[in-house]
Amino acid sequence: MKLLLTTALLFCFHLATVYAQDLVPIEIEDEQENNRLMLYAVNKNLVDLDVSIEVEGTGFRKRGGREITYRVPATSKINIMTLIVDRGKQALYTYKLNVSDSLSRRVRKVPFELIKIDPKKPITVFLPDSCSAKCDSIINPLKESPYKFTAINISEDENIKNQISGALVGGAERLGKMDTPIVMLGGKMYLKIASYDELMEKMNAEE
């Protein structure tokens, strides 16, 4: 049985290279199974990064030897270190991350888990009953994308149906004939986005 362990954490995040300002810092998550405390590096960026970790603290033992640098692919998490928790103790640790976007050939590559990240603008897709292929052209790529999103079948929520009908010129009659999804992107409504590529263009557009 896997248990999440809450620890007292202090950390220092060191950039080995100068990043663009919109990159998100690497996060560390921990998960305990029996006496093993796994530390995971979580990369919420759309680019690969090289990461190493230095850990100090009490209540555990760790691997000796030189510091290992791991490749953490875009929008993924990997097990970057495992601590052995002393019997009857709680692992309390601090850590320092060394992160680089130079992507060295000498890094260690290990299995990774893909994660979903928040898009630049929240995405909600409302699906009219008459929308099929054009809705699939957005929903299916979104499922494969790294982005979190919400999809709502309009006919399944009368309150939402009434709200959207009230916002449309033509009201419920127009809604009943629509064959494209209604996309809410960062609080703005779009009626004519018919593909994932168009959605990404709107999301990344500077306003």
109-130 pLDDT, tens digit per residue, is 999 999 999 999 999 999 988 8
Whether 50 shows a pLDDT value over 90: the answer reads yes
- State the Cα–Cα distance between residues 45 and 23, nearest whole angstrom: 6
Three-state SS at 175: helix
- pLDDT band of 91, cuts 50, 70, 90: very high
What domains, with CATH codes, occur in the chain?
10-114 (2.60.40), 123-204 (3.40.30)
| pTM of the shown model | 0.80
pLDDT in tens, 153-198: 998 889 988 888 888 888 888 888 888 899 999 889 998 888 999 9
pLDDT of residue 44 exceeding 60: yes
First to last CA, the chain: 48
Q: Which helix (H) or strand (E) holds 15?
A: strand 10-15
| Residue showing tokens 């919109």 | 22
Q: Check pLDDT > 80 for residue 12.
A: no
Specify whether the CB–CB gap between 80 and 70 falls below 8 A.
yes
Write the pLDDT tens digit of every residue in 63-90: 888 889 999 999 999 999 999 999 999 9
pLDDT at 134: 77
Contact predicate 98/16, CB 8 Å: yes
Positions of E strands within the chain:
10-15, 27-33, 36-43, 49-58, 60-61, 70-72, 76-85, 92-100, 113-114, 123-127, 150-153, 182-185, 188-190
Q: How far apart are CA 129 and CA 177, in angstroms?
A: 8
pLDDT at residue 206 in the model: 64
For the cut 80, the answer to whether the pLDDT of residue 13 exceeds it is no
**Positive or negative CA dihedral for 130, 134, 138, 144?**
positive
Q: Which residues pair with 108 in a beta bridge?
A: 70
**Per-residue pLDDT tens digits for 14-34:** 444 334 446 899 999 999 999
- Over residues 1-16, the mean pLDDT reads 39
Q: Mutual orientation of helices 196-204 and 133-144 as an angle, nearest 10°? A: 60
Q: How far is CA 123 from CA 13, 85, 202, 203, in A?
A: 30, 41, 11, 9
